[in-house]
Amino acid sequence: MAQEDPTLRQRVRRSALFWLAVAAAFYFGFIALTLIRGSR
Amino acid sequence: MADHALDAAHDHDSHDHKPHGWRRWVYATNHKDIGTMYLVFACTMFFIGGAMAMVIRLELFKPGMQFVDPQLFNSMTTMHALVMIFGAVMPAWTGLANWMIPMQVGAPDMALPRLNNFSFWILPFAFTLLLSSLFVPGGAPAGGWTMYPPLVLQNGASFPMLIFSIHMMGASSILGAINVVVTIMNMRAPGMTLLRMPLFVWTWLITAYLLIAVMPVLAGAVTMLLTDHFFGTTFFTAAGGGDPVMFQHIFWFFGHPEVYILILPAFGIVSEVIPTFSRKPLFGYEAMVYAVASIAFLSFIVWAHHMFTVGMPLAAQLFFMLSTMLIAIPTGVKVFNWTATMWKGSLSFEPPMLFALAFLFLFTIGGFSGLMLAIVPADYQYQDTYFVVAHFHYVLVPGAVFGIMAGVYYWLPKWTGHMYNVRLANWHFWLSTIFVNVLFFPQHFLGLAGMPRRIPDYAVQFTDWNMVSSIGAFGFGLSQLLFPLLIWQCVRSGAKVGNRAWEGAHGLEWELPSPPPYHSWTEAPSDALIARGASH
């Protein structure tokens, strides 16, 4: 099965981590901005 | 027409190793099982949101207060929108993506199956929380799905429930979108180049990027509401130096791309269905891809057309008016290309094609009324009237919902291995199409005559068209009951179909048996198969 290919697994993992990092930075970034601005 | 011939026996089930009973669903990691759960969830929410619409139309059948008090009426409009947008249409698209993307790109499954399970199982909790707010003191959220402050801050105990459920829906959507992006970028079979991908995959890829970009903005906006309500901040309170209009800017920066999140996958489905039943390749495949990408880009720079009347500089009004009108260009390209695909084609009118054609005509009506609303001086007249309600319902019901129907009727034989009752599906189509127009077209007249939206009572001169609209709503609501009935019949006792359920169908999914094996493409499809599928 294609998923058992180790290079593909690594590519999928890297890609997933990259997009998770982008989304998390956006998501928590907006919320953090909110809290920092709000506490001034 | 459907090829009802029984396919050669296939013994794919022997390699399934699939869990049985409740574990199959709770621990599901298979893209088809998760797709099915998304679709069943979306269908359930469609009927719950639909029941709320029936309450709204029942109350508006004639002037005066009949059945519900104004607070509950406002809760119904708010909850109807939230349930339909986040609970019905978005999960339906994710369900279709789960079912079709691995099969269409030549992959065995989605790239991140456990994340897929998590994305789905967040949703029942989010909607249980949201719907249970109907039973708390003060009632469910009633300030509109747009959650404008200061009105939304007046909600009682339901307010934090609303915010938390929105966060959960957002997280689910983002995780689902990441899965789609990672699958499409990494799991395509060798030879499935980007410009060989089916349009449904393309539209979903672009939709996934939109989701990752804008759902966090919504999360930020509702978190600011939360801190304004509970932690003494004044982001949107003028008395503390804040600005309620700022919320509208942030909300619509999410809200307008959200409209395209709801409609772009429908463009993909229509681009699959029309070539199949025209027996011709899609006209202008690359132009279609670029048009979708352009629409997605433009969706980020038009948000303030939702708020022309708040008082903004003339230059800003002009910018947002003109950028909005620009969207007509790529949309026009798409409508032209769908029409050109049918030109001199060998057309037949099976249920998916009927829904796709209705989409083409009726979505275009929604698009035209959108152009009317984009004209700043005219918008001052239309703002917050039933004209707006008519406009976005034309985009979302015969647009997004008919797109989903076209997709389900197109791929249901592939999913189940059975053909549905075409006669009953035709009834479903005609009743839906007639009643959806009876329901929403008169709302244009009501809006132009000045009837405001989100009101439980109205002046007597609006009575006649409201009665017509309500009759249309009851007819549309009842005719939707045919849909689950028809699916049930299809699964239980439909005639067997072969691999290629529709004779004119192209694409990798039609090379797999019907129903497809538990893991879709355990061996990557050959280049010849991919080339045959990508005959655009």
The pLDDT assigned to B396 comes to 97
Please name the member of A12, A20, A30 whose beta carbon is closest to the beta carbon of B217: A30
Query: pLDDT band at B440, cuts 50/70/90?
Result: very high
Query: Which pairs from B521-525 meet CB under 8 Å and 24+ separation?
Result: B521/A2, B521/B102, B521/B103, B521/B106, B521/B107, B521/B108, B521/B189, B522/A1, B522/A2, B522/B15, B522/B108, B524/A2, B524/B106, B524/B189, B524/B190, B525/B106, B525/B189, B525/B191
B182/A16 CB distance under 8 A: yes
Please, what is the end-to-end C-alpha distance for chain A in angstroms? 55
Number of domains in chain B: 1
CA distance B429 to B350: 10
Mean pLDDT of B96-104: 97
CA distance B92 to A30: 28
Q: Is the peptide bond before B19 cis (omega within 30 degrees of 0)?
A: no
The pLDDT assigned to B348 comes to 97
The pLDDT assigned to A40 comes to 58
Please name the member of B177, B216, B521 whose beta carbon is closest to the beta carbon of A30: B216
Inform me whether the C-beta atom of residue A36 falls under 8 Å from chain B C-beta atoms. Answer: no
- Classify residue B62 by burial, with Cβ atoms within 10 Å: 0-12, 13-18, 19+: middle
Mean pLDDT of B466-490: 97
- What's chain B's length in residues? 536
CB B406 within 8 A of CB B355: yes
Residue B532 forms beta bridges with which residues?
none
Inform me whether the C-beta atom of residue A10 falls under 8 Å from chain B C-beta atoms. Answer: no
B220/A1 CB distance under 8 A: no
Write out the catalytic residue numbers of B.
80, 109, 145, 172-173, 256, 258, 260, 271, 305-306, 331, 334, 453
Please report whether residue B304 resides in a domain. yes
Query: pLDDT band at B371, cuts 50/70/90?
Result: very high
Query: pLDDT band at B499, cuts 50/70/90?
Result: very high
* Paired tokens of B368: 């035209």
The pLDDT assigned to B398 comes to 97
| The amino acid at A5 | D
Chain A: closest CA distance from residue B294 (Å): 22
β strands within B386-470, DSSP E: 418-419
Helix, strand, coil shares of chain B, percent, nearest 5, are: 70, 0, 25
A30/B219 CB distance under 8 A: yes
Residue in this structure with the two tokens 């197109």, named with its chain if needed: B410
The pLDDT assigned to B245 comes to 95
Inform me whether the C-beta atom of residue A13 falls under 8 Å from chain B C-beta atoms. Answer: no
| The amino acid at B478 | L
CA distance B211 to B83: 18
Residue in this structure with the two tokens 């700043």, named with its chain if needed: B376
B182/A26 CB distance under 8 A: no
Please report whether residue B520 resides in a domain. yes
Query: pLDDT band at B53, cuts 50/70/90?
Result: very high
| List of chain A residues whose C-beta atoms are within 8 Å of the C-beta of residue B178 | 16, 19-20, 23
- Cβ within 8 Å of residue B284, ≥6 positions away: B333, B337, B340
- Taking the CA atoms of chain B, what radius of gyration do you get in angstroms? 23
The pLDDT assigned to B16 comes to 58
* Paired tokens of B366: 């929604």
The pLDDT assigned to B140 comes to 95
Mean pLDDT of B342-358: 97
Q: Is B457 left (phi over 0), alpha (psi -120 to 50) or beta?
A: beta
Please report whether residue B60 resides in a domain. yes
Please report whether residue B24 resides in a domain. no
Residue in this structure with the two tokens 């479903």, named with its chain if needed: B428
Over pLDDT 70: what percentage of chain B? 96
B220 pLDDT above the threshold of 50 = yes
Inform me whether the C-beta atom of residue A4 falls under 8 Å from chain B C-beta atoms. Answer: no
Query: pLDDT band at B307, cuts 50/70/90?
Result: very high
Lowest average pLDDT, out of B106-110, B270-274, B342-346, B531-535, goes to B531-535
CA distance B473 to B53: 8
B182/A33 CB distance under 8 A: no
Helix, strand, coil shares of chain A, percent, nearest 5, are: 90, 0, 10
Residue B84's Cα: distance from chain center in Å?
Answer: 8
* Paired tokens of B399: 């647009």
Q: Which of B357, B356, B479 is nearest to B409 (CA)?
A: B356
Mean pLDDT of B346-359: 98
CATH number at residue B216: 1.20.210.10
Inform me whether the C-beta atom of residue A9 falls under 8 Å from chain B C-beta atoms. Answer: no
Inform me whether the C-beta atom of residue A32 falls under 8 Å from chain B C-beta atoms. Answer: no
CA distance B290 to B44: 35
Chain A: closest CA distance from residue B187 (Å): 8
B474 pLDDT above the threshold of 90 = yes
Mean pLDDT of B359-377: 97
The pLDDT assigned to A4 comes to 67
ipTM: 0.74
Please report whether residue B21 resides in a domain. no
| The amino acid at B35 | G
| List of chain A residues whose C-beta atoms are within 8 Å of the C-beta of residue B519 | 1
CB-CB neighbours of B237 under 10 Å:
15
Chain B: closest CA distance from residue A23 (Å): 6
Mean pLDDT of B380-402: 97
B447 pLDDT above the threshold of 90 = yes
Please report whether residue B259 resides in a domain. yes
CB pairs A-B closer than 8 Å: 75
The pLDDT assigned to B156 comes to 85
- Give which of B103, B166, B182 to mutate to test A binding, by max A Cβ within 10 Å: B182
The pLDDT assigned to B535 comes to 62
| The amino acid at B161 | M
Q: Structural domain of residue B284, as residue ranges? A: 2-8+29-533
Chain A: closest CA distance from residue B387 (Å): 34
CB B456 within 8 A of CB B70: yes
pTM: 0.93
Please name the member of A1, A8, A38 whose beta carbon is closest to the beta carbon of B235: A38
Residues of chain B whose beta carbon is less than 8 angstroms from a beta carbon of chain A are 107-109, 111-112, 115, 170-171, 174, 177-178, 181-182, 185-187, 189, 212-213, 215-217, 219-220, 223-224, 227, 231, 233, 235, 519, 521-522, 524
Q: Which parts of chain A register pLDDT below 70?
A: 1-4, 38-40
The pLDDT assigned to A38 comes to 66
Indicate the SS3 state at residue B282: coil
pLDDT digits (tens, 9 = 90+) for B408-430: 999 999 999 999 999 999 999 99
Q: Mean pLDDT, chain B, as a whole number? A: 94
B282 pLDDT above the threshold of 70 = yes
Please report whether residue B14 resides in a domain. no
